[in-house]
């Protein structure tokens, strides 16, 4: 049985008439960059996240860059980020001109709150936790440190649409939350997309100005802005998908519970620690195995679309070599880099498919 890591075609087949009609409407009205479909989506996405404002952007990376710019973070500043995340988190900090300062993650694979205080310097201007794999970072201690030092928290929610921490949703806890709608994300566009969410009106206003060339009125560029607008077609697709996201999240949670029941206690397979006060949305179902690269090869040979998130922690990426980090600096992130294996997960995955994945995994590690 061939099982993909992510199955976007089955999802589209289930919502095709609605998507096609919404996209056609954009084509007919001609509002391709921002426009009514984007505005309608923003109106649905803000309450879903439990915030007042949502602004669509061209990607999750641009959402992060805009959030940092709106908080006036730039050259000479430092932003604390976890060493295990997708490169975009740290890249956005570098785009703003600030310096990413890495801290290790813990067994939940999110920022280790106990390591944050030691990384703070007089130049620290924000803390940027990542809700990796769909589980929220331990936000309360992170928010407390930020408050003590009078700095904002920017949440990277690219993998955590609808995830909850003590009943609060991803994106609603810090000063600002940044989402990606890359096609494979839990809420995915049919192209690139992202959003910045916040309760602070001045941040929302600035993000809206900066995403559209820094324009305060037509051809008046008061700020050096960007072409970071969400496309109308993507707004239409996302607007339709908002009607399904809660149902899809529940299906992912059922799939994850099923995997965890099948894998708990299997020798040689480690699972991500789930904090008791977290309700993850399972963007990625990660396990830990020795000889991971061989396991990947064997499972691929069985037709199982496994992935790795991520083989090289960000502090070890060549593009950040000048920051001077070295192997051993962040042992948990480095262990995840060596052992993490992502199993196929999507709302439509069946128990029979999960049985095949688990069987292939057990065979590969035997
Ligand atoms: C944790 C994290 N941050 C940021 C991003 C960047 O999002 P995008 O690819 O939409 O720019 C991603 C997406 O892959 C991500 O997983």
* CA proximity to 309, closest of 59, 5, 85: 85
Q: Which atom of ligand 1 is nearest to the CA of 194?
A: 10
Among residues of the chain, what percentage have pLDDT more than 70? 100
- Cα 35 to averaged position of ligand 1 atoms, centre (Å): 24
250: CB partners within 8 A, 6+ apart:
none
CA atoms 120, 135, 230, 242: torsion sign: negative
8-241 CATH, one of 3.30.2090.10, 3.40.640.10, 3.40.50.2020, 3.40.50.620: 3.40.640.10
Give me the residue spans of the domains in the chain.
Answer: 8-241, 245-365
- Cα 12 to averaged position of ligand 1 atoms, centre (Å): 22
pLDDT band of residue 1 (cuts 50, 70, 90) is: confident
Closest C-alpha residue for ligand 1 atom 7: 60
Domain 245-365 = CATH 2.60.40.1930: no
Residue ranges lining ligand 1, Cβ < 6 Å: 59-61, 85-86, 88-89, 130, 156, 158-159, 180, 182, 192, 194
* CA proximity to 73, closest of 171, 152, 180, 156: 152
- Cα 267 to averaged position of ligand 1 atoms, centre (Å): 33
Q: Is there a cis peptide before residue 310, judged by omega within 30 degrees of 0? A: yes
* Cβ neighbourhood burial of 13 (10 Å; 0-12, 13-18, 19+): exposed
- Determine contact, residues 112/142, Cβ cutoff 8 Å: no
Q: Which atom of ligand 1 is nearest to the CA of 193?
A: 10
| Mean pLDDT within 43-72 | 98
* Cβ neighbourhood burial of 215 (10 Å; 0-12, 13-18, 19+): middle
* CA proximity to 329, closest of 100, 83, 137, 114: 83
What's the rounded Cα separation, in Å, for the pair 246 and 241? 10
pLDDT band of residue 70 (cuts 50, 70, 90) is: very high
- Cα 194 to averaged position of ligand 1 atoms, centre (Å): 9
* CA proximity to 340, closest of 141, 173, 4, 107: 107
Please determine whether the domains at 8-241 and 245-365 fall in the same fold group of CATH: no
- Determine contact, residues 145/116, Cβ cutoff 8 Å: yes
Among residues of the chain, what percentage have pLDDT more than 90? 100
- Write the DSSP symbol of residue 220: E
- Cα 265 to averaged position of ligand 1 atoms, centre (Å): 32
Q: Is the pLDDT of residue 118 over 80?
A: yes
On whether the pTM is more than 0.85, the answer is: yes
- Determine contact, residues 332/115, Cβ cutoff 8 Å: no
Question: pLDDT tens for residues 297-309?
Answer: 999 999 999 999 9
- Determine contact, residues 98/123, Cβ cutoff 8 Å: no
Q: Which atom of ligand 1 is nearest to the CA of 192?
A: 10
Instruction: List C-alpha distances in Å: 109 to 61, 131, 177, 272.
Output: 20, 9, 19, 7
Closest C-alpha residue for ligand 1 atom 12: 158
Mean of pLDDT over the chain: 98
| Mean pLDDT within 227-245 | 98
Q: For ligand 1, pick from 6, 57, 58, 88 the residue to mutate: most ligand atoms within 8 Å of CB.
A: 88
Closest C-alpha residue for ligand 1 atom 10: 60
Question: pLDDT tens for residues 263-298?
Answer: 999 999 999 999 999 999 999 999 999 999 999 999
- Determine contact, residues 78/123, Cβ cutoff 8 Å: yes
Closest C-alpha residue for ligand 1 atom 14: 86
pLDDT band of residue 200 (cuts 50, 70, 90) is: very high
pLDDT band of residue 17 (cuts 50, 70, 90) is: very high
């Amino acid at each position: 049985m061939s099982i993909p890591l992510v199955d976007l075609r089955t999802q589209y087949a289930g919502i095709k008439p609605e998507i096609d009609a919404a996209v056609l409407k954009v084509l007919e009205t001609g509002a391709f960059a921002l426009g009514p479909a984007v505005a309608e989506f923003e109106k649905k996405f803000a309450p879903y996240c439990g915030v007042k404002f949502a602004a669509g952007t061209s990607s999750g990376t641009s959402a992060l860059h805009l959030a940092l710019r709106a908080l006036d973070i730039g050259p000479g500043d430092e932003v604390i980020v976890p060493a295990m995340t997708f490169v975009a988190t740290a890249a956005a900090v570098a785009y703003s001109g600030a310096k990413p300062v890495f801290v290790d993650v813990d067994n939940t694979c999110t920022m280790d709150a106990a390591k944050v205080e030691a990384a703070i310097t007089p130049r620290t201007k924000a803390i940027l936790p990542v809700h990796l794999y769909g589980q929220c970072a331990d936000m309360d201690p992170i928010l407390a440190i930020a408050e003590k030092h009078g700095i904002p928290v920017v949440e990277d929610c690219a993998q955590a649409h609808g995830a909850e921490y003590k009943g609060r949703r991803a994106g609603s806890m810090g000063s600002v939350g940044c989402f990606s709608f890359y096609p494979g994300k839990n809420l995915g566009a049919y192209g690139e997309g992202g959003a910045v969410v916040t309760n602070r009106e001045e941040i929302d206003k600035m993000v809206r100005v900066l995403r559209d060339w820094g324009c305060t009125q037509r051809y008046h560029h008061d700020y050096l802005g960007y072409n970071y607008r969400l496309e109308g077609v993507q707004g239409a697709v996302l607007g339709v998908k908002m009607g399904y996201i809660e149902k899809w999240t529940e299906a992912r949670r059922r799939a994850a519970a099923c995997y965890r029941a099948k894998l708990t206690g299997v020798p040689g397979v480690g699972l991500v620690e789930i904090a008791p006060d977290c309700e993850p949305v399972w963007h990625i179902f990660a396990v830990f195995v020795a000889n991971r690269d061989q396991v990947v090869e064997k499972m691929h040979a069985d037709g199982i679309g496994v992935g790795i998130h991520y083989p090289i922690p960000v502090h070890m990426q060549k593009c950040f070599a000048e920051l001077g980090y070295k192997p051993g600096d962040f042992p948990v992130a480095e262990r995840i880099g060596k052992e993490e294996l992502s199993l196929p997960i999507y709302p439509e995955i069946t128990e029979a498919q999960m049985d095949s994945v688990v069987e292939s995994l057990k065979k590969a590690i035997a």
